[in-house]
Structure 1
Amino acid sequence: MLTMTRVVHASVLLDFGGARILTDPWLSERRFYRQGEPRSVATAADLPPLAGIVISHDHYDHCDLDALVDYPDRTVPFAVAPGLAAKVRAAGFVNVVELAPWQHTRLGPVEVTAAPAGHSVPEVTFVLRADGHTVYFGADTLRIPELDEIAHRFPDLDLALLPINGLRIRPALNRQVVMDAAEAAELTRVLRARVAVPIHYAFSSGPIGDRVMTKAERNRPDLYRDAVADLAADTTVHILDPGRPLRV
């Protein structure tokens, strides 16, 4: 049995028959980093026992280690992007492995394989397999051609979690750093996942930051759902509020 529950943003709890994996923890807010929706876990102390944690890259809204130190089990295993292990260990967690694309490890009974990503800093995405189910976690990658390889290596995806807000850094750069809803829908067509859930769309830089720092398609998961209906009709899209579980 596979159950997923959004925490907030790209932070998701995946429950593979009792083995729970947390993705990209973000459990606090600060200036210019607003979650834009109520998160379903107040603090790390409120998390259930975890089989492991995966972290795609070293951005605060995906790697909130200051808040995560309240999690009581310092031996919980981590799979993280290259270059992150020292930072996780410095936060007090002792069981950390770095994965480059197509390297893999196990977090308890869950097999974790890193996949490519494109972003403003080094990043990986992840494929997680356990209990007869396979999940792709897209973190906040751009739509890069290297992601097509996932469909060849993992043709049996049950669930795809894809970012959709098309975040751009502006005004000087106006550089896109996250795939948008249309690009995520096109990737959904390639991946052929049975079920897809959009993530990474409510984020705000706040009233000032949204004007001068970042630009994104906020709170529009319907754009992704409608595009998938046109491009990948065999994939069922679920738009989930944080805290609402989905049994896949």
Structure 2
Amino acid sequence: MSRTRYNNIDNVSTDKTLKQFGQWREERRRKRKDYSYVIPSSQPQIDFLQQNREESTVTWIGHSTFLIQYQGLNIVTDPVWAARMGFQRRLADPGIAIADLPPIDVILLSHSHYDHMHVSSIRRLYSVATTIVVPIGLGRKMRRKGFHRVLEMSWWEQLQIGKVLISFVPTQHWTRRTLFDTNTSHWGGYVLEPTEFEPDQKPQVIYFAGDSGYFRGFAEIGQRFNIDIALLPIGAYEPEWFMTSQHTTPEEALQAFVDVKGKLMIPMHYGTFRLADDTAREALDRLEQDRKQRGISEEQIKILFHGETLRLPY
């Protein structure tokens, strides 16, 4: 039986040839990189996070993993507490130990790549009260692994959990877990909006971009939603000729921030795993240089430490 294969907007391909992989490997051999910079860790506010059901917060665990407390729900994005990714050890410990998290109500998966979907981490987070939200095509795989409360979403679809409206929005990427399932599930990001609020106390709208190359979809997201906080990827972009269709550079991430019309950007997807040839220091330096060139204020970019909690509104 043929399986559905999902595509990007405008059918942009992320496929690479064996020759291109070989070229990257040769380039990597000639590079000399300084990986000594490690993203600092902040003492996590464990007691507060375990008890909090009132305030909106964003806590960076590492890579694309966040604990988001929003409208009374504890939400985790792309859970990965793995100590290594393939043959590469994790560059920094998770900002909060998985055992120290509050009970998780919702898990949001942007796509099925191993650095965004670590099944062992999900098993530890999952309980009778947890709902897993996944891109279309991924639900069957998750149910086979024993997760029964799984909801699938297609681009631009919405669902409500508690007092949170969740929208699944496009990204430009791809996915694979095995040699035979390339692009048999989709990929995307999520927008969180409140469904109930006092007129003078509207919670801020949060956009989690997942994993993406730069594409015109960011502008459409900015047209459809009134985004306050944008969690955007800035790492795994080098070599750019190889990664450009699937990962934004720091400069492209800032352009995406402009496109979605966000008020505050939180960078992610850097400094946790060595997925490409760039370093965390390079990504942050390029981000800062481009911020200055664009005239974006320092207050609009919030660089979180691992384990650091941002209380909203900020």
Give, in whole Å, the separation in 2 of the partners of 1:71 and 1:103: 25
Give, in whole Å, the separation in 1 of the partners of 2:140 and 2:131: 14
Does 2:118 correspond to 1:64? yes
Q: How does 1:79-158 map to 2 (within 5 A)?
A: 79-121=133-175, 122-130=186-194, 132-154=203-225, 156-158=226-228
Q: How does 1:1-248 map to 2 (within 5 A)?
A: 1-30=55-84, 31-43=86-98, 45-71=99-125, 73-121=127-175, 122-130=186-194, 132-154=203-225, 156-168=226-238, 174-176=242-244, 177-205=246-274, 214-219=276-281, 220-231=283-294, 233=296, 236-248=300-312
8 Å contact from structure 1 (residues 180, 217) kept in 2 = no
Give, in whole Å, the separation in 2 of the partners of 1:72 and 1:120: 26
Give, in whole Å, the separation in 2 of the partners of 1:139 and 1:34: 22
- What is the aligned residue count? 237
8 Å contact from structure 1 (residues 74, 93) kept in 2 = no
Give, in whole Å, the separation in 2 of the partners of 1:17 and 1:3: 10
Cα deviation digits, residues 57-103 of structure 1 (max 9, x gap): 01111011122212251441121112111222233221111111100
Q: Which consecutive unaligned segments of at least 5 residues does structure 1 have?
A: none
Aligned letter for 1:147? Answer: F
Cα deviation digits, residues 157-197 of structure 1 (max 9, x gap): 11000000143579xx8343211100001111122211110
- Secondary structure, aligned partner of 2:280: coil
- Secondary structure, aligned partner of 1:227: helix
- Secondary structure, aligned partner of 1:69: helix
- TM-score normalised by length of structure 2: 0.69
Give, in whole Å, the separation in 1 of the partners of 2:162 and 2:122: 19
8 Å contact from structure 1 (residues 125, 139) kept in 2 = yes
Give, in whole Å, the separation in 2 of the partners of 1:222 and 1:160: 19
Aligned letter for 1:61? Answer: D
Shift of 1:119: 1.2
The structure-2 alpha-carbon separation of the partners of 1:229 and 1:78, relative to structure 1 and needing over 3 Å to count, comes to farther
Flag the structure with larger Rg: 2
The structure-2 alpha-carbon separation of the partners of 1:19 and 1:28, relative to structure 1 and needing over 3 Å to count, comes to same
Give, in whole Å, the separation in 2 of the partners of 1:245 and 1:93: 29
Shift of 1:228: 3.0
Q: Which consecutive unaligned segments of at least 5 residues does structure 2 have?
A: 1-54, 176-185, 198-202
| Larger fraction in helix | 2
8 Å contact from structure 1 (residues 198, 224) kept in 2 = no
Percent identity among equivalent residues? 27
- Secondary structure, aligned partner of 1:50: coil
Shift of 1:240: 0.6
Aligned letter for 1:194? Answer: K
- Secondary structure, aligned partner of 2:174: coil
Aligned letter for 2:278? Answer: A
Give, in whole Å, the separation in 1 of the partners of 2:158 and 2:291: 30
8 Å contact from structure 2 (residues 104, 130) kept in 1 = yes
Aligned letter for 2:91? Answer: G
- Secondary structure, aligned partner of 1:160: strand
- Secondary structure, aligned partner of 1:97: strand
- TM-score normalised by length of structure 1: 0.86
